[in-house]
Amino acid sequence: MAPLNSEHQPRRRLSLHEYLSMRLLKEAGLRVPEGQVAKTPEEAYRAAKEIGTQDLVVKAQILAGGRRKGVFEGGFKGGVKVVFSPEEARDVSAHMIGKKLFTQQTGEKGRICNEVWVCKRVYPRRECYFAIAMERAFQGPVLIGSSQGGVSIEEVAAEDPGAIVTEPVNITEGLRKEQALQLAEKMRFPTPLAREVADSMIKIYNFFIKYDATLVEINPLAEDSAGSVICLDAKVKFDGNSAFRQKEIFKLQDWTQEDTRDRNAVKADLNYVGLEGSIGCLVNGAGLAMATMDIIKFHGGTPANFLNVGGSATVQQVTEAFKIITSDSKVQAILVNIFGGLMRCDVIAQGIVMAAKDLELKVPIVARLQGTRGDDAKTLIAESGLKILACDDLDAAAKMVVKLSEIMILAKEAQVDVKFQWPVD
């Protein structure tokens, strides 16, 4: 059997900035507010002038929710601001661009705001919530609607679950007009407007399918002062496995919004997810990776990451994997758990040795290498003279790496310098 192509291994979902999502929805035939993106305060001023109205909204572009209640570094409050002149748009933008915005979703790390979206303010008569999501529970797409829009849907779900209605869609048949119309009526749109809302839902569904989206959230989907349907805000997520056929969409990804480790992992064709623990994990196979994290937790440790090198990793990829793992300052020990089937253990061993030498690793490594060329891998590690602790039993390896991590953490707290030196004399 040939190794799986890394291009088809699971990847994380792609999120786009609001202004890009709005642009795509407009191309799909939906009404959105007139607006322009700006990367400097002066560009924001010119955008506001070109829009040609005194009623404007300036929105910080970060990939996180809760912008309206967020706080910028420096103390400026609010990532969504109503302004009444191009001059005010420029002044507000100056407080946003180049600053980190902290919201409930970003946590203490915040997200850098490199752009703002300056758009025409819309005065809605009514605001509703509408989304399409790919849900396992429904075995396909599901429409989600509520008459309560423009607010946190999580709060609505907690306070009034009956206010949220769902409509599963048979993905082979597509969204039928009568389905969309029924949902629009349940969202309390009056009959004449409900037909227009249903048409918009069908356009959004077609967009969802065309671009391999996993979520399209319009909050709010509104009726404007002229009685027409308009999308006032949008969040779109795309299935990372579709990158090979959605190349133009994936070119729009803003890597400044992502962790450097995530960016480096994608470049190296590695599947990586950073966590909050102290034990770095390098494993082949998603199932084995999950089992490895479970056994670390069972023995009292906490994994620092999910990292799956797959079945066709090269020495260079393994070395890059170690660079990514050790770039996390929380990592105090590393567990390598390889079951060699497609993946050769000697390739992993070469990568471990190269990484230990090149990166001058100062954290202990426990390696469990079983399967294809497992004996060759053990020989490579033994002959390297490096202090890498080999262990054939996974349970024993997990116990060992947890203990080593605890020693490193205690030494760090006591400000005692613990060194694991390579090579061993």
Each residue's pLDDT tens digit, 335-364: 999 988 778 899 889 988 888 888 888 889
The Cα 335–Cα 302 span in angstroms is 12
What confidence tier does 294 reach under pLDDT thresholds 50, 70, 90? very high
Look at residue 422 in the predicted model and tell me its pLDDT. 46
- With 50 as the cut, is the pLDDT of residue 4 above it? no
Task: List the beta bridge partners of residue 336.
Answer: 282, 367
| Given 43, 167, 217, 320, the catalytic residue | 217
Residue 236 has pLDDT above 70, yes or no: yes
pLDDT band for position 420 (cuts 50, 70, 90): low
Q: What is the pLDDT of residue 19?
A: 96
Annotated active-site residue 383? The verdict is no
- Arithmetic mean of pLDDT, 272-280: 93
Of residues 252, 300, 254, 310, the one with CA closest to residue 278 = 300
pTM of the complete model = 0.77
* Distance between CA atoms of residues 132 and 147, nearest Å: 15
Place of tokens 């910080």: 60
Is 217 part of the annotated catalytic residue set? yes
Angle at 44 between CA 39 and CA 46, to 5 degrees: 120
Set 19, 129, 205, 211: catalytic member: 129
Is the pLDDT score of 295 beyond 90?
A: yes
Does the pLDDT at position 241 exceed 50? yes
Label residue 241 exposed, middle or buried (CB < 10 Å: 0-12, 13-18, 19+): middle
